[in-house]
Structure 1
Amino acid sequence: MKLSRRDCLVHSSWTTGALAVTASAVPAGFTLAGETNDAASVLHHPAKAKRVIFLFMHGGPSHVDTFDYKPRLIADNGKDLPFDLPPQISAKPTLLASPWKWSQHGEAGLWATDLLPEMSKHLDSLCVIRSMHTRGQSHGQAVGMVNTGSDNFVRPSVGAWVSYALGSAHPDLPAHVAIAPATAHGGPRNYGAAFLPAKHQATVIGKNGKIGDGKIAYLDSAQDHQFALVNRLNRAHAEVSGRDRSTDGAIEAVDLANRMRGAAPEVMDLSKETQATKTLYGIGDKTTDSFGRSCLMARRLAEAGVRFITVSSGQVWDQHGNLKKGHDKNAATTDKPIAGLIADLQQRGLWEDTLIVWGGEFGRTPVVQGSNGRDHNPQGFSMVLGGGGVRGGMTYGETDEFGYYAVRDRVHMHDLHATILHQLGIDHERLTYRYAGRDFRLTDVHGRIVEDILNG
């Protein structure tokens, strides 16, 4: 096929930005050592979860102010930490007790502060991992770890790996969606496909913690001839240069984007929900409206067949100073919508096969920094899981008596990723992709499944 200069320039108002609408097409297999790449080999074992919703509290909420109760920290408020701070920490060694009140909740009696009262009502359905640890003292490193499993290299995101392994459960929707992702701390790298085919990167709705109009860019305004032009260019390139994975991925991505124009608007139309449902998520209230719409959008996408959905709070949980004011504001924005999502999934029978993950890239120090703030703490923090075959009403692991270091039943970020994949029916050691002469995987050469938090 020969393309004239006119062919390349016609309708040039549709910029290359439209090519950002990429995602998985139909359910796809993945390359396993010694196995064929067909749909029959997708699952390594029976899956407990069909989908994941990652509620990313970007910035790092404080575990010692939410779900990690430390009586010693309260008793020793204002005293010096009785061991040395890590060398990279600039905070004072002065212990800072939580300004929020602690109490036990539900039949299981899990501890939580009154910072997140709505989430706390659901603790009998949730598992709090109190012994998380990760790499990366800075946001960029730790955000990379939680979203891609790497603190320094460009690697496929968790959602991209899930898309590559399972594809979408809907033929005209992507497998991987990022709602309101940040433009900082790696930006697109945190929901990108890296060396996986481009179709596995996330389809994006909104940015920086705001869902905006709740629409996917370029789908509404694009016309048939514009998609046809891009397909002609891609296929002409394939004819001239030969078929390769990147070109095939681009062709499949644009083809899906074209099909999404029919399916996505209906799935993403929140006006179809009842007023009672909208109220459950806090939609209509100025404080909770945007994040509430993000959470409701996540439920609709999950229900329709999207496999991995990240809902970002925006990079707001980073309180180096004014901890009380900042965390109060962030909790007011996110707490009710998250509790609404949990209740809605349970009411609709989606809870058992939807895995919910709540948390940030790290926690905060138990010592004070600046004006009553806390510094970053990747040495020990909490993540909350629920649904998808995870046991509810339990805690797992411990930090030390002040909440600084994970000390018992430690769970690394690679372990969390291995466990997420396991619940989706995927063996993290067998989900590989050959690139640059070696087989890569989400968990690199690490990772263990946290069996004790799982049902059955």
Structure 2
Amino acid sequence: MKNHACHRFQRALSRRELLQTSASGFGMLALAGLLADEAKAAENPLAPKKPHFPAKAKRVIFLFMHGGPSQVDTFDPKPLLTRDSGKPYSGQRPRVVFAQTGNLLGSPWKFNHYGKCGTEVSDLFPNVAQCVDEMCVIRSLHGSNPAHGGALLKVHTGTDVGIRPSMGSWAVYGLGTENQNLPGYVTICPTLGHGGVQNWSSAFLPAWTQGTPIGNASVKAKEAKLAHLGNADASAALQRLQLDNLHALDSEQLSHWGVDPVLEGRIQSFELAFRMQVEAPKLMDISGETQATLDMYGIDKDPTDNFGRQCLLARRFCEAGVRFVQVTHSYKWDQHGDLKNGHTRNAAEVDKPIAGLLKDLKQRGLLEDTLVLWGGEFGRTPTAQGGDGRDHNPHGFTMWMAGGGVNPGTTYGSTDDYGWFAEGDKCHIHDLHATMLHLLGIDHTKLTYRYAGRDYRLTDVEGVVAAKVLKDPSSLKLV
């Protein structure tokens, strides 16, 4: 019997027998892997997470034009508006207007066809116009608030009636980030007005999803810094010891009181700040960039230096693995009067840097999986204000996307003949957010967070993915 047993033990197992005898072992291995993943996530919540389905974009750069660029003077040509300039407007007006306006005002700029796609762009953006084959211009955006504060919150957080997490925070909450030594969400020279920090706030989401500001709108990009990054009074070893002791005290507190998201978020923020001391200064230092790259962004030249530096930093942070980067041109696009001079000056500051960013991302192979979003909080009226200005218009305006799975060289949606109301393929702010999240591999209806007795999401209870904006609309079948 003994020899027989030995013989049986030494006999090679068939595949069927192997699976039958080791199936429970596979299960334990899988369970161990899951538990390890959970433990890792608890230890570092910024660790990368799997999307709901294969993503086209890994990261987002939001180029925010604070103040509200005029759609009919930039990316939405209106021949009838030009023809009827100076005449009274006889069409429908919004029930609620921000202020009174007068007769129709034609655009002082000409529109021309660009690229293989033939998309029309005004003379304001000669450099960006050279990149239209990479872009999908969405001409049918609409929101709900004609005031800057509410409109900024709507674009950034999906609501204008309360404090909610920003879209960058939602992206980091759903996907984590690719570099554990940097924040998942960075906002460069953000505005401190019209909602201020609430526009990059994590609100009730975990504190580690909060946007990290670099400077603010009142600081030149050349001088913008990450606050409290260095510690001249303590060595790295001493700081590590202090953090370990603090962590021990915090852990003891958590063991007595249970889950405390605020305290846990504070622990994670201290740890991230410690790790950032090594990597962040290197990214902020652009002295190693080639002269050709600096020239592409218009750095060290007027009037492009300031915004050019912001755009270059955005590329460097994305290249280093940051999930969401916002660049703000603030607060300059609010031309209630002197439209021609104001928009001319503003466009001259951002046109070359934006085109440089798109070209730089493409030549580095980053544009394919980086979603670039451009736009303001609303558009402008087709009627005149203050002689040659335009008032706020949230009912029909333009934003554009490039890279990251966007259908390139296309336009989406339309406004009426004069550019006041979105008409064809209307795209609400909720739809824009749903489309952005879809390109990141996230089903916007499933990215939720339980707070105050209900499940919240960026798109609230609305939002439809704009299929025609996608290069691969079949990805909607994965949702």
Question: TM > 0.5 between the two?
Answer: yes
Which residue number in structure 1 is paired with residue 346 of structure 2? 330
Matched, 1:375 2:391: yes
- Provide the secondary structure at the position in 2 that maps to 1:117: coil
Shift of 1:85: 2.5
Which residue number in structure 2 is paired with residue 151 of structure 1? 160
1:91 aligned to 96, 100, 104, which one?
Answer: 100
1:221 aligned to 231, 234, 241, which one?
Answer: 231
Which residue number in structure 1 is paired with residue 363 of structure 2? 347
Structure with the larger helix share: 2
Q: Is the 8 A contact 2:47 2:178 kept in 1?
A: no
* Amino acid in structure 2 at the alignment position of 1:98: S
Which residue number in structure 2 is paired with residue 55 of structure 1? 63
User: 1:87-236, aligned counterparts within 5 Å?
Assistant: 87-208=96-217, 210-221=220-231, 223=234, 224=236, 225=238, 228=242, 231=247, 234-235=250-251
Which residue number in structure 2 is paired with residue 438 of structure 1? 454
Shift of 1:149: 0.5
* Amino acid in structure 1 at the alignment position of 2:403: G
Q: Is the 8 A contact 1:91 1:367 kept in 2?
A: no
Q: Deviation digits for residues 275-317 of structure 1, max 9, x if unmatched? A: 1101100000131111101000000000010010000001111
* Amino acid in structure 1 at the alignment position of 2:388: N
Q: Is the 8 A contact 2:189 2:224 kept in 1?
A: no
Q: Is the 8 A contact 1:353 1:388 kept in 2?
A: yes
Which residue number in structure 1 is paired with residue 325 of structure 2? 309
* Amino acid in structure 2 at the alignment position of 1:199: W
Q: Deviation digits for residues 159-202 of structure 1, max 9, x if unmatched? A: 00011111110121111000010000110100010001111101
Q: Is the 8 A contact 1:319 1:326 kept in 2?
A: yes
Q: Is the 8 A contact 1:235 1:251 kept in 2?
A: no
* Amino acid in structure 1 at the alignment position of 2:225: K
RMSD: 1.7
Q: Deviation digits for residues 242-265 of structure 1, max 9, x if unmatched? A: 431221111111111111111111
Farther off after superposition, 239-248 or 319-328: 239-248
Shift of 1:234: 4.4
Q: Deviation digits for residues 412-454 of structure 1, max 9, x if unmatched? A: 0000000100001110000000011111100000001011111
Cα distance in 2 for residues equivalent to 1:290 and 1:236 = 47
Shift of 1:93: 3.5
Shift of 1:455: 1.0
Distance 1:370 1:236, change over 3 A: farther
Q: Is the 8 A contact 1:25 1:173 kept in 2?
A: no
Shift of 1:226: 5.9
Shift of 1:102: 1.4
Q: Is the 8 A contact 1:26 1:168 kept in 2?
A: no
Cα distance in 1 for residues equivalent to 2:251 and 2:115 = 59
Matched, 1:360 2:360: no
Cα distance in 2 for residues equivalent to 1:61 and 1:232 = 51
1:429 aligned to 445, 453, 457, which one?
Answer: 445
Q: Deviation digits for residues 193-224 of structure 1, max 9, x if unmatched? A: 00011111011111117424242111123635
- Provide the secondary structure at the position in 2 that maps to 1:112: strand
Cα distance in 2 for residues equivalent to 1:163 and 1:171 = 12
Matched, 1:68 2:76: yes
Which residue number in structure 1 is paired with residue 14 of structure 2? none
* Amino acid in structure 2 at the alignment position of 1:69: P
Cα distance in 1 for residues equivalent to 2:468 and 2:360 = 27
Cα distance in 1 for residues equivalent to 2:249 and 2:191 = 31
Q: Is the 8 A contact 1:25 1:168 kept in 2?
A: no
Which residue number in structure 2 is paired with residue 15 of structure 1? none
Matched, 1:399 2:409: no
* Amino acid in structure 1 at the alignment position of 2:230: D
Cα distance in 1 for residues equivalent to 2:250 and 2:63 = 36
Structure 2, gaps ≥5 residues long: 1-42, 473-479
Max Rg structure? 2
Shift of 1:89: 3.9
Q: Deviation digits for residues 69-94 of structure 1, max 9, x if unmatched? A: 11110110001111243232423240
Farther off after superposition, 209-218 or 46-55: 209-218
Which residue number in structure 2 is paired with residue 268 of structure 1? 284
Distance 1:369 1:119, change over 3 A: same
Q: Is the 8 A contact 1:359 1:384 kept in 2?
A: yes
* Amino acid in structure 2 at the alignment position of 1:317: W
Q: Is the 8 A contact 1:119 1:335 kept in 2?
A: yes
Which residue number in structure 2 is paired with residue 78 of structure 1? 86
* Amino acid in structure 1 at the alignment position of 2:365: G
Cα distance in 1 for residues equivalent to 2:426 and 2:259 = 46
1:452 aligned to 463, 468, 472, which one?
Answer: 468
Which residue number in structure 1 is paired with residue 296 of structure 2? 280
Q: Is the 8 A contact 1:91 1:368 kept in 2?
A: no
Shift of 1:25: 5.2
User: 1:36-47, aligned counterparts within 5 Å?
Assistant: 39=49, 42-47=50-55
